Amino acid sequence: MSVGEGARRWDHGMRTTITNYQCSFCNSNNLLTMHMFCMQNVGKNIPLSKQVRYFASTKAEMETAWGRQEVSKLLASSFFLLSIGNNDLLQSTPKSHADVVALYTTLVSNYSAAITDLYGMGARKFGIINAGPVGCFPRVRLLSATGACHDGLNRLALGLAATFKSGLATALTPNRLPGLKYSLADSFASSWAIFDNPQESGFQNGDSACCGSGRLGAEGDCNRNATLCSDRDAYAFWDYVHPSQRAAELGAQALFDDGPTQITAPISFKQLAYEK
C-alpha cells in the first residue's frame, strides 16, 4: 500500500505491483492483470462511486483491445476486493444515535449500489473487508493523553460491521443478483489481536508509526523529512493510519485462511477466488 506524497519512494520498501488507474505506463497488455482504483499514492481519497466509473472506463478500454466476450469471461472469474469503512469512519463525527443510524444506512446503501453497478458490468465474486479498529490508529490515539485506543470509534466500527452483514444480505440476494458470490472479512478481529498483544504477533510496537514525527510518530506525515524507525517489521504501523508491510502480510494471510482461525464468512477468500 502506497502512502502519501511521492509514494514510489516513501512506501514499505516494495514497489507497487498492482497497476494504478491513473498511471503513466498503463497499456492494453497490463489491463488484463490486477488493477486498483483507490489511488492512495496521490495523497487523497477518491469516492467509491468515482472508482466504479473509472472501472467502467477501464472495461471499455479492455473491450476495445480484447473483445467483449473475452472481457466478460475474465470479469466473471475475477476476484474483486473491496475494503470498506475505515476512511468513512475516520471522516465522520456522529453526535447522536440517530446520526450513527443515518451514517450506517448511507454507507450500506452506497456500497450496495457500487457492488450492484460492478455486478452489472460483469463482476461476480467479491471479497469485502470490514472496517478495522480505527480507534487504535496512531493518529487517533493522539486524542488520548495516555495514547489509548478510542473506544467510541472502535464501537462505531463494530456496529458498522454488523450493519453491513445484515444490510448486504438483504441487498445482494440471489434472486436480485443471480450468480453473485461474496465473503465478508472481520478485519476488526484479526487486527485487534495485534493491537491488544503486539508481542504475541511478533511486533515490538503496536501503537506508534514507523515513519512520521512527534508523539507516537503520528503528529507529522511520512515524507522525506520524517523520522524512520530502525526496523519497520517491528512496528504494526508504517505511518499514522496505514499498517506496516509485515502487518499487512499477516492480515492478507488471515483473509485466505480457511482453517479454525478463519475470519471470513461464509467461506475464505481463497475458496471464493478459486470457485468456478
* Helices vs. strands in the chain: H and E counts, helices first: 9, 10
Which domains are delineated in the chain? 19-274 (3.40.50)
Residue 33 pLDDT level (bands cut at 50, 70, 90) = low
Quick check: 251 pLDDT over 90? no
User: Would you state the pLDDT for residue 92?
Assistant: 86
Whole-model pTM: value is 0.81
Q: Are strands 79-83 and 181-185 parallel, antiparallel or unpaired?
A: unpaired
Quick check: 164 pLDDT over 70? yes
Query: Which grid cell sits at 231?
Result: 526496523
Residue 8 pLDDT level (bands cut at 50, 70, 90) = very low
Those residues whose C-beta lies under 8 Å from the C-beta of residue 83, and which sit 6 or more positions away, are 38, 129, 187
Mean pLDDT over 109-127 rounds to 95
